[in-house]
Amino acid sequence: VTKKGPTMTIIQSAKKFIFGGYTSVPWSSDCGPKKDTQAFLFTLTNPHNIPPTKYPINPAKTLNAVYHFYAGLIGYFVGGIL
């Protein structure tokens, strides 16, 4: 599954709230933080009545925008966004 991307993750919580994130960085088994100037988080529905909102990456945090981890399965973690 390496070299696949970009990726948008959409999550629906047990209470039916919808949120997620996006990274333009292709999937990789090269573990560690990845730079992404286009990464963002978003909320569509939430318990705080915030309207659908996109939260772009903080320009000072782009070097650690996402984190790739490989342990048989590839996954990414969004960090340093806000």
Mean pLDDT of 31-46: 94
Cα–Cα dist 33/39, whole Å:
13
Mean pLDDT of 7-26: 94
Based on DSSP, count helices (H) and strands (E) in the chain, helices before strands.
0, 7
| Strand ranges for the chain from DSSP E | 7-12, 18-23, 32-34, 40-45, 53-56, 66-70, 74-78
Q: Report the pLDDT value the prediction gives residue 23, as an integer from 0 to 100.
A: 94
Mean pLDDT of 39-45: 96
Per-residue pLDDT at 74 exceeds 50 = no
Q: Which residue has the higher pLDDT, 31 or 34?
A: 34
Cα–Cα dist 12/20, whole Å:
9
pTM score: 0.79
- Report residue 22: phi and psi, to 5°: -140, 140
What are the sequence ranges of the domains in the chain? 7-78
Q: How far is CA 70 from the centre of its chain?
A: 16
Q: Which residue has the higher pLDDT, 29 or 22?
A: 22
